[in-house]
Amino acid sequence: MFKITPKLHEKIQHFARFPQTGVSLRQMVLFGQKPSQASLFKASQFLHEELPIRLAHRVKDLEELPRYLSEMPSILKVKDWYAQSFQELIELPPPRLSREMKEKLKHASKNASQTIPPCVPNPANVHLARPHLEARLMTLPIGHRYFNPVEDIRCSPEVLTYTDSFVKTIEGVKRRHDPVVTTVAQGILEYKEHRKPQVVDTEVEKFLDRFYMSRIGIRMLIGQHSTLYRGPFRQDYVGVICTKTSIREIAQDAIANARYICEEHYGLFKAPEVKMFCPGDIEFMYVPSHLNHMIFELLKNSLRAVVERYGSDYEDDYPPIKLVIAHGKEDITIKISDEGGGIPRSSLPDVWAYMYTTAERQELEPEFNKSEFKAPMAGFGYGLPISRLYARYFGGDLKLISMEGYGTDAYLHLNRLSNSDEPLIM
């Protein structure tokens, strides 16, 4: 059984004092375009420093929750996972290079520095003071040093072994944290039942936003690193990022899935139609799984609203849902409009609360649902808040406008420039 010893706790506290370092989508793509052993090694150096800091922040955050909540068994369990992952990472010896390798890297960085696009160094990170890391850093700022596309260099076996054991460790961390969302949700649910609050608890909501946002970031960094290391190497992909994500294709996929789930759930022969308006083939740089998740969640909400408003005898005459895609210089916006009766204005703030749902509550089954948090038709109250986090993670946003008595418009804004800083709260 894992236990947080006082010594480990002290270390966690120490790491939690350092700021987290954000990585933008553009940085990830530039960095991973030609993954070489050397660049992967640099990435593991970065992650070896950055992941324990991020994990330590979360442990601290969990400890600072209202007392009753921080002592819930499920919350304690999650805290142990974070602490254990933290320990595994700091116990891994820091990546080191042979002298020969160091020379090669230095040389490569010098050559590469002339061609580095101006957005690579992240100015927000340049002045971060991290005394315990400083010793290991050379003179270049963090973003510059790690996210610097160096040329391919043949590596010594020492480097390969390190990268290999490092990747295995972080993949283990990712796996351990698979059931975090459902487990935290369980704790919050028990807490809410215990307190029976009439209003949304803003402190807890803020915590959850921070916590899940951080989880998206950590999983993105790990997923990106392990995919770059192991493959599969697919055309137009840099790790899990697709440089030519076709919105039309992703939307078509999400429409088919959402309608299928709707038909299953309500026992319908035919779910409401979804009409897509897409000017040409829009391709942009994004993580397809994130985009799919957001559109899918919004469509399920709209389908549910329409079916529940008209009933299941109305099958042939449901008003269609419209999915409109607009292509601007700064944003790509996807609007999903339904005629499902809308949301009363007084409930609008509630829909962003975790676990707020007007559907019959679904059982949380962390044991059966280990891989990812997959909601069925409705009933977890996680669809909107998590989708908004995904949108914000790469500098976008999600907004709802409702006309009570008619329908709802959801606006999903995606930042096309993709160089916005990773949002790191605390």
Tell me whether residue 314 or residue 356 sits nearer to ligand ADP (CB atom): 356
Interface with ligand ADP in residues 350-379 (CB under 6 A): 351, 356-359, 375, 378-379
* Residue selected from 366, 381, 395, 396 as contacting ligand ADP according to rule CB under 6 A: 381
Shortest gap between Cβ of 75 and ligand ADP (angstroms)? 22
Which residue out of 50, 297, 339, 422 is catalytically annotated?
Answer: 297
Q: How far apart are CA 351 and CA 343, in angstroms?
A: 9
Minimal distance, residue 100 CB to ligand ADP, in Å: 55
Least distance between ligand ADP and beta carbon 366 (Å): 17
Q: State yes or no: is 50 an active-site residue.
A: no
Residue 408 touching ligand ADP (CB under 6 A): yes
| 203, 220, 250 from 149: Cα distances, Å | 41, 19, 30
**Per-residue DSSP letters for 323-385?**
EEEEE-SSEEEEEEEE-S----GGGGGGGGSTT--SSPPPPP-TTT--SS----SS-SS-HHH
Interface map 280-319 toward ligand ADP (x if CB under 6 A): -----------------x---xx--x--------------
Strand partners, 399: 411
Tokens representing 263? Answer: 């038909």
Assigned token pair, 331: 């944003």
From CA 162, how far away is CA 97, in angstroms rounded?
A: 10
The residue among 45 and 302 lying less far from ligand ADP, judged by its C-beta, is 302
Residues that bind Mg ion (CB under 5 A): 301, 378, 383
Residue in the block written with tokens 């002592």: 71
Parallel, antiparallel, or unpaired: how do β-strands 237-238 and 241-246 relate? Answer: antiparallel
The count of residues interacting with ligand ADP (CB under 6 A) is 21
Burial bucket for residue 112 (CB in 10 Å: 0-12, 13-18, 19+): middle
Question: What φ, ψ does residue 175 adopt, rounded to 5°?
Answer: -65, -45
d(CA 330, CA 334) in angstroms, rounded, equals 13
For the bound state, the minimum distance from the C-beta of residue 138 to Mg ion, rounded and expressed in Å, comes to 48
Q: Which does 340 bind (CB under 5 to 8 A by kind): ligand ADP, Mg ion, none?
A: ligand ADP
* Residue 339 is a catalytic residue: no
- 265 catalytic per annotation: no
Asked if 383 touches ligand ADP (CB under 6 A), the answer is yes
Q: Which residue is nearest to ligand ADP (CB)?
A: 383
CB of 212 to ligand ADP, least distance (A): 13
Q: Is 63 among the catalytic positions? A: no
- Which residues, 319 to 348, sit near ligand ADP by CB under 6 A? 338, 340, 343
**Strand, helix or coil at 412?**
strand
Which residue out of 57, 301, 322, 339 is catalytically annotated? 301
Token pair, residue 125, equals: 């990170």
Q: Which residues are catalytic?
A: 293, 297, 300-301
Residues making contact with ligand ADP (CB under 6 A): 297, 301-302, 305, 338, 340, 343, 351, 356-359, 375, 378-384, 408
